[in-house]
């Protein structure tokens, strides 16, 4: 027993040594890690198997059936990562230059550069499964480099129409792209980044959430109001963090409840909900936020900004959306409208600096991503890496 205890303590010390050194542990996904041997260049696979626990390919675990230092190093690494996530700070734990194939292998090499009209694109190959891919942010069908994509996205989010974005790329970069390609990039930007940013819980919000609805023009949808749909927006008071954006056909209780339910999955419990008195808000509040015991969420009715009400925060957001909608000249379908607005919400929170607070709403809300200068590209890469993990 004494010998086993000493051996266990020795393995724990060696595990701490592994964790303390850089580039010794590579996290492939939530159940797969690669840990480098301390005595050679061999990488061992540490995998969590269903009903069996953690297994390692090293001889110590394979033949002695003990919890080796590599498994213990993974335990420590997971604990450190858990603490960082609980602090709501997203940091690059792994090497920023780390390349991982979709099969999970880190045995990746460069295989040359593709010279397109849009610029040079680096090509990669996995030596394990022979999969090849290009460095194009993962959603451009291997034809346009990341610089052109981010330029197009940035121009659109700053208020330029799709057609003018197309003309700008042609004039200043000599690349002929279609307006539909730009629209597709916007949709895929939102789809790629939304799951990641919506999983980040702001920790410095005020807890006073403002909600309001506005009409948006959707050309190919026809309801009793004509070719229009309702856009519901919810925003935090002090950080100006845009919490939720939902497009619906009507202003029913179920539509208001959908906004509240979406906010409950993303944000801490609010102190108060401020709205304009629409009956749907009151009924949705009773269904989603009212509690018989404990500290209750306040249900505050306000009037419009014309009467010096309390809902100016979200009314101002509606004005921003109205200005943007004039440039878009409407949207095609409700699904397309939802994708566009979700992408715009991400840009508003994480990329666009807010004039009244001097930083992005996400930074004001306590979400630290350190996106650098090219925030759009770095946000896409961070979201892609998080999805892979």
From 86, 109, 130, give the residue that closes a domain. Answer: 86
Distance between CA atoms of residues 275 and 282, nearest Å: 9
Tokens of 13: 């010390």
Tell me, yes or no, whether 342 lies in a domain. Answer: yes
- Predicted confidence at residue 137, as pLDDT, reads 60
Tell me, yes or no, whether 238 lies in a domain. Answer: yes
- Predicted confidence at residue 85, as pLDDT, reads 46
Split into its structural domains, the chain has a count of 2
Same domain, 214 and 345: yes
* Burial degree of 301 (CB within 10 A; 0-12, 13-18, 19+): middle
* DSSP 8-state code for residue 339: H
Structural domain including 251 reads 208-366
Distance between CA atoms of residues 44 and 34, nearest Å: 6
Same domain, 76 and 214: no
Distance between CA atoms of residues 206 and 236, nearest Å: 7
Tokens of 48: 């969590």
Helix locations, 179-267, DSSP H: 179-198, 253-266
- Predicted confidence at residue 43, as pLDDT, reads 92
Distance between CA atoms of residues 241 and 362, nearest Å: 6
- Predicted confidence at residue 165, as pLDDT, reads 92
Tell me, yes or no, whether 181 lies in a domain. Answer: no
**Own/partner long-range contacts of 295-301 (Cβ < 8 Å, ≥24 apart):** 297/269, 297/270, 297/271, 297/272, 297/273, 298/271, 298/272, 298/273, 299/272, 299/273, 300/272, 300/273, 300/274, 300/275, 301/275, 301/276, 301/277
Tell me, yes or no, whether 103 lies in a domain. Answer: no
CATH number of 335's domain:
3.30.420.10
Burial 303-327 (b: 16+ CB within 10 A, else e): eebeeeebbebbbebbeebeebbee
- Predicted confidence at residue 142, as pLDDT, reads 45
Same domain, 216 and 351: yes
From 29, 56, 86, give the residue that closes a domain. Answer: 86
Distance between CA atoms of residues 250 and 257, nearest Å: 12
Tokens of 206: 């005020």
- Predicted confidence at residue 91, as pLDDT, reads 42
Distance between CA atoms of residues 22 and 2, nearest Å: 32
From 63, 86, 109, give the residue that closes a domain. Answer: 86
Tell me, yes or no, whether 300 lies in a domain. Answer: yes
- Predicted confidence at residue 208, as pLDDT, reads 93
- Predicted confidence at residue 101, as pLDDT, reads 72
Tokens of 140: 């451009």
- Predicted confidence at residue 146, as pLDDT, reads 77
Distance between CA atoms of residues 361 and 238, nearest Å: 9
Tell me, yes or no, whether 164 lies in a domain. Answer: no
Tell me, yes or no, whether 185 lies in a domain. Answer: no
- Predicted confidence at residue 280, as pLDDT, reads 95
Tell me, yes or no, whether 188 lies in a domain. Answer: no
pTM of this structure = 0.67
Tens digit of each residue's pLDDT, the chain (389 residues): 344 555 667 788 888 888 777 678 888 777 788 999 888 888 999 988 766 788 999 998 988 888 899 998 888 887 776 555 444 444 443 334 446 676 767 788 888 777 765 566 677 888 888 888 676 565 544 466 778 888 999 999 988 889 999 999 989 888 888 888 899 999 999 998 999 999 888 889 999 999 999 998 887 776 655 678 899 999 999 999 999 999 998 899 999 999 999 999 989 889 999 998 899 999 999 999 998 877 889 999 876 555 456 788 888 888 888 887 777 765 778 888 899 999 999 999 999 988 888 899 999 999 988 888 889 988 988 887 776 55
Tokens of 346: 């991400």
């Amino acid at each position: 027993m004494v010998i086993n205890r000493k051996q266990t303590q020795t393995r724990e010390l060696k595990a701490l040594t592994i964790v303390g050194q850089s580039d010794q542990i590579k996290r492939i996904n939530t159940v797969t890690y690669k840990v480098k041997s301390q005595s050679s260049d061999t990488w061992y696979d540490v995998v969590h198997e269903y009903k069996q626990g953690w297994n390692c390919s090293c001889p110590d675990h394979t033949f002695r059936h003990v919890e080796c230092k590599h498994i213990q190093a993974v335990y420590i690494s997971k604990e450190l990562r858990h603490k960082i996530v609980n602090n709501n700070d997203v940091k690059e734990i792994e090497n920023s230059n780390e390349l991982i194939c979709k099969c999970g292998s880190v045995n990746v090499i460069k295989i040359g550069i593709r010279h397109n009209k849009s610029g040079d694109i680096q090509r990669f190959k996995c030596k394990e499964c022979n999969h090849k891919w290009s460095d194009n942010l993962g959603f451009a069908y291997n034809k346009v480099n990341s610089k052109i994509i981010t330029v197009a996205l940035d121009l659109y989010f700053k208020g330029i129409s799709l057609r003018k974005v197309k003309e700008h790329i042609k004039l200043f970069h000599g690349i002929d792209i279609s307006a539909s390609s730009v629209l597709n990039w916007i949709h895929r930007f939102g789809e790629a980044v939304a799951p990641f940013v919506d999983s980040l819980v702001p920790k410095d919000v005020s807890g006073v959430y403002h909600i309001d609805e506005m009409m948006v023009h959707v050309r190919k949808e026809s309801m009793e109001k004509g070719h229009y749909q309702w856009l519901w927006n919810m925003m935090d008071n002090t950080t100006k963090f845009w919490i939720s954006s939902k497009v619906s056909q009507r202003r029913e209780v179920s539509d208001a409840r959908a906004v509240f339910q979406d906010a409950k999955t993303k944000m801490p419990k609010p102190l108060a909900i401020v709205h304009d008195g629409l009956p749907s808000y009151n009924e949705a509040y009773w269904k989603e936020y009212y509690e018989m015991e404990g500290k209750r969420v306040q249900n505050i009715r306000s009037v419009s900004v014309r009467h010096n009400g309390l809902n100016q925060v979200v009314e101002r957001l509606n004005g921003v959306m109205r200005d943007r909608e004039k440039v878009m000249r409407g949207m095609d379908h409700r699904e397309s409208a939802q994708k566009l607005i979700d992408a715009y919400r991400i840009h508003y929170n994480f990329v666009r600096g807010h004039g009244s607070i001097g930083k992005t709403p996400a930074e004001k809300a306590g979400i630290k991503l350190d996106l650098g200068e090219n925030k759009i590209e770095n946000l896409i890469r961070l979201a892609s890496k998080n999805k892979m993990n």
